[in-house]
Amino acid sequence: MSAKAAGATPPQYVITAEDLTKTYGDVTAVDGISFSVPAGESFGLLGPNGAGKSTTMKMIGGVAQRTSGSLTIMGLDPEQHGPEVRAHLGVVPQQDNLDEELKVRDNLLVYGRYFGLPMSYLRPKADELLEFAQLTDKAKSKVDALSGGMKRRLTIARSLINEPRILLLDEPTTGLDPQARHILWDRLFRLKEQGVTLILTTHYMDEAEQLCDRIIVVDKGRIMAEGSPASLIRDYSTREVLELRFGSERNASIAGELEGIGERLETLPDRVLIYTHDGEAALEEVSARGLRPLTSLVRRSSLEDVFLRLTGRSLVD
Amino acid sequence: MTEPSFAKDLTAGPTAAPPLRAHSPEVSAAKARRWGAFYYAEQVLRVMKGYGWSIFLYSVGQPAAYLFAMGVGLATLVDTNTAEVFGGVSYIAFIAPALLISAAVMTAATEFTFPVMDGFKWRRVYYGPHASPLTPEQIAGGQIIAVTIRFLLQSVIYFVIVAMFGASPSGWGWASVVVATLAGLSFGLPLMAYAASIKEDKGQFAMVMRFIVMPLFLFSGTFFPLDTLPVLVRWIGWISPIWHGTELGRVMTYGYDESPVLTIIHVVFLLGLAWLGWVLTKRQFVRRMGQ
């Protein structure tokens, strides 16, 4: 994008939301959230299913009307300037909506036409993007012949056809196997390195940690916490976690005997979590009390622990 | 904001071409505002091209079969017995415009039902362009433009075959192609609005075919003049785009002698229903995609 296209004085924030609210009848999907995203940042919305992440993304993408609050993308209100806002964006929806009846390469060409891009630009661009998405050898295949991971990569390639400076990714790796997820993360990381602003929703903590500079933790339509993955873990958890399993019958009853070990104790149906700065020392203390867990694991704290601390619930139900 | 290096990176190499640049988002938005419906029509036509042969064979096979069976086979009985009932023209000349118009309406019944459900529900194909600068109205409009082009092409083929059977004696016969297209839209657009309102497929489209399209086809003055029917069922024709289109088609293909007022009523009815269908379709698309 040229300096002229971006405006003489580029906005400090590419996205600004103030008290953004969306209700469907009696249900409040997004409940007065506020955030701002500067250009080039990878910004994540982390929360469980039904937290309001996708609804927020739809409002940012200029396809769902907000109930109240204000929202600007590149300084424009998406409800007043829908086509202008959407022309700035690349969108990867939660559910692939590729043209299954068209060939892989044609999907890119057709999508590029929606932006009024000429074929002289689109033909070589489609080939570049297929290479980027590692789909060059599938260019002439029908979309329904692709695997789930390939379809996802094609959807990402499609979202890049207009060279957007803001990419919205709604649960980009949900339903993919670990290998496909890692390939996708690699591609997204390259875009991030090239300065594309990534707005990402996920309920995978590892995804948020890998890709996001900053995160808002969302639950029931509200922001529970905000910060970088590291700062959230620092603020809401300890350095390490000791996970103990005594069997689903005994976890709750034995928790009382673990009191005083570590800084905090969390009892889940399938395990007991001890939050501590030194996991090994905590495990020794457990043994010293004569307790013999079926399994034990010392690990570093993650965003999952942050979410558990903030909401009392696990991220993935 | 930094200049994007994405395109450059991807073309890097010993034979790298000059970096590609998309035009600015402002240009994209301006072009989409102006031409968006045509961009979406392009997509629909590309998909149709995928089954182009089937469309072509249907467009040729259907008129050839109908005109031969009805216009040559059945006509040998009809013409010898009751030719005066058909205004003094041959039976094949009488039914040719009716079949032409009915074919467009039948196509409308397919093109404005299942693909709409596919767009919103099955494969959700509308939601891809919806995330681009296109608006819901343009997506609906694009689909209508593409189907209109199909109506035109199909009706041209149909008319050529009609002419080959010698069933369009008037010099204005070609205008029946336009009438068929208008009849297709007149029936199709209200149906499109209905299809866009359906959230769950419970076989509604099969019901439309059985209980709306077929009765309209049979009782719209297609195979015999409407006024030979009892008054009690004549209303089916009066509210039928097939009847209004057929009567108008007959004026074009063999100079059917009807009151000019009636001719104007046919045109107004067809245009009015198409316009109403378009208004309702737009409303449904905007409502459903804005949620």
pTM score over 0.90: no
pLDDT reported for residue B16 = 52
B33 vs A83: CB contact, 8 Å cut-off?
yes
B132 vs A114: CB contact, 8 Å cut-off?
yes
Q: Which residue of B has its CA nearest to A40?
A: B1
* B152-190 pLDDT per residue, tens: 999 999 999 999 999 888 999 999 999 999 999 999 999
ipTM value for the complex: 0.85
Q: What residues are paired with A201 via a beta bridge?
A: A45, A170
Residues A23 and A31 sit within 8 Å (Cβ to Cβ):
no
Average confidence score pLDDT of chain A: 90
For residues B216 and B55, what is the distance between their CA atoms, to the nearest angstrom?
23
Q: Which stretches of chain A are assigned E, i.e. beta strand? A: 13-24, 27-38, 42-46, 68-73, 89-92, 166-170, 197-202, 214-219, 222-227, 240-245, 264-267, 272-276, 295-300
Read off the tokens for A68.
């109240």
Eight-state DSSP code of residue A252: H
Q: Which residue of B has its CA nearest to A11?
A: B1
Q: Three-state SS for A127?
A: helix
Instruction: Among B4, B10, B47, select the one facing A165 at the smallest CB separation.
Output: B4
pLDDT reported for residue B13 = 43
| Chain B residues whose beta carbon lies within 8 Å of the beta carbon of residue A88 | 25
Residue A189 has pLDDT above 80, yes or no: yes
Query: At residue A171, what is the residue type?
Result: E
pLDDT reported for residue B2 = 40
Digitized pLDDT (tens) for each residue of chain B, 291 residues in all: 343 333 434 444 445 556 678 899 999 999 999 999 999 999 999 999 988 899 889 888 888 888 888 877 887 777 666 656 677 788 889 999 999 999 999 999 999 999 999 999 998 999 999 999 999 999 999 999 999 999 999 999 999 999 999 988 899 999 999 999 999 999 999 999 999 999 998 999 999 988 898 888 888 888 888 888 888 888 888 999 999 999 999 999 998 888 999 999 999 999 999 999 999 999 999 999 986
B43 vs A99: CB contact, 8 Å cut-off?
yes
pLDDT reported for residue B82 = 65
A102 vs B10: CB contact, 8 Å cut-off?
no
B50 vs A63: CB contact, 8 Å cut-off?
no
Q: Measure in Å the smallest separation between the Cα of B22 and chain A Cα atoms.
A: 6
Instruction: Among A87, A131, A195, select the one facing B28 at the smallest CB separation.
Output: A87
Residue A194 has pLDDT above 80, yes or no: yes
For residues A38 and A74, what is the distance between their CA atoms, to the nearest angstrom?
10
For residues B76 and B63, what is the distance between their CA atoms, to the nearest angstrom?
18
pLDDT reported for residue B81 = 63
For residues B134 and A169, what is the distance between their CA atoms, to the nearest angstrom?
19
* A111-161 pLDDT per residue, tens: 999 999 999 999 999 999 999 899 999 999 999 899 988 999 999 999 999
Mean pLDDT score, A268-276: 92
For residues B109 and B187, what is the distance between their CA atoms, to the nearest angstrom?
8
B26 vs A5: CB contact, 8 Å cut-off?
yes
| Chain A residues whose beta carbon lies within 8 Å of the beta carbon of residue B127 | 63, 93, 97
